Amino acid sequence: MSLAPVLRWTSVPLSNGLHIPILGLGTSHSGGYCHDTIVHALTKCGVRHIDTAKRYGCEEKLGEAIRESGIPRSDLWLTNKLWPADYGHTAAKKACLDSCSLMGVEYFDLYLMHWPDPLQPGCSNRKMRAETWRALEELYKEGVCRAIGVSNFMVHHLEQLLEDCSVVPHVNQVEYHPFQQPKQLIDYCRQKGIVFEGYSPLAKGQVLNNPTVLQIAEKYRRTPSQICIRWSVQNGVVTIPKSTKKNRIQENCQVFEFQLEEADMSALGELHDGRHVSWDPTNVE
């Protein structure tokens, strides 16, 4: 049975009135993309939210998979990300339009600055972020991006951006799983009306053998991955697990048929140990 009706209407409101599906499918570089699996996710699993980035190198192929699925563009939520090599006003606008062209779409539902460090020697990080963000603000006003946001931004990065620019980011996408729960950042985002989105909800597999997770999975007769994804969405976090396996995506989508008890949510909440399985932006100026 298709899960499309469930996934389509389970969403989180953004400050501009749009609704982002709370569960999506992430893609990545280094073997993190499979054409047939994307088509399967869209046509058989009800996935309507796809997350990608220029850095992943799969924009053109992803566009082909979307067209092959036959799902109307208006039914999809497509997120793309701007790599730091394209930061700066002119470069950012060009990169976004080039990504649209590669994917064969006229707009992105969400467009993010991928990383707080411009990775460009000799420039002020803060000034470059502000200049780039102003380009995203223009893309937003022009309708090329229906919403704009950032990824891997910490509180101090957001504070500076809010001082320098006019549009508050609609989303901040950051690593989030039971071992990495940046509560101060989450609280700050919610105070400012910024939706918190989490990637790597399974900690790249590290959480799947945790005794607490395994015990809770046995209790609910669910898989460890389903427990972790359910915990994330039940916390109100937009969640984008990645997989290139059809059965895994089907499994990951089946998290709206049960609810974790408060004691189990708390037990998973106590697993935070501060570890990162991806980039750590804490010390980026």
SS3 annotation, the chain: CCCHHHHHHCEEECCCCCEEECECEECCCCCCCCHHHHHHHHHHCCCCEEECCHHHCCHHHHHHHHHHHCCCHHHCEEEEEECHHHCCHHHHHHHHHHHHHHHCCCCECEEEECCCCCCCCCCCHHHHHHHHHHHHHHHHHCCCECCEEEECCCHHHHHHHHHHCCCCCCEEEEECECCECCHHHHHHHHHCCCEEEEECCCHHHHHHHCHHHHHHHHHHCCCHHHHHHHHHHHCCCEEECECCCHHHHHHHHCCCCCCCCHHHHHHHHCCCCCCCCCCCCCCCC
56 tagged catalytic: yes
Q: What are phi and psi of 106, to 5 degrees?
A: -95, -15
Question: Which residue type, as a one-letter code, is found at position 189?
Answer: C
**114 has binding-site annotation:** yes
β-sheet bridge partners, residue 79 = 51, 110
Q: 175: which 2 tokens?
A: 């690593």
| Residue 80 CA: distances (Å) to CA of 57, 145, 147, 172 | 11, 10, 11, 13
Catalytic position from the list 56, 176, 188, 199: 56
Query: Which residues sit in the known binding site?
Result: 114
Residues taking part in catalysis: 56
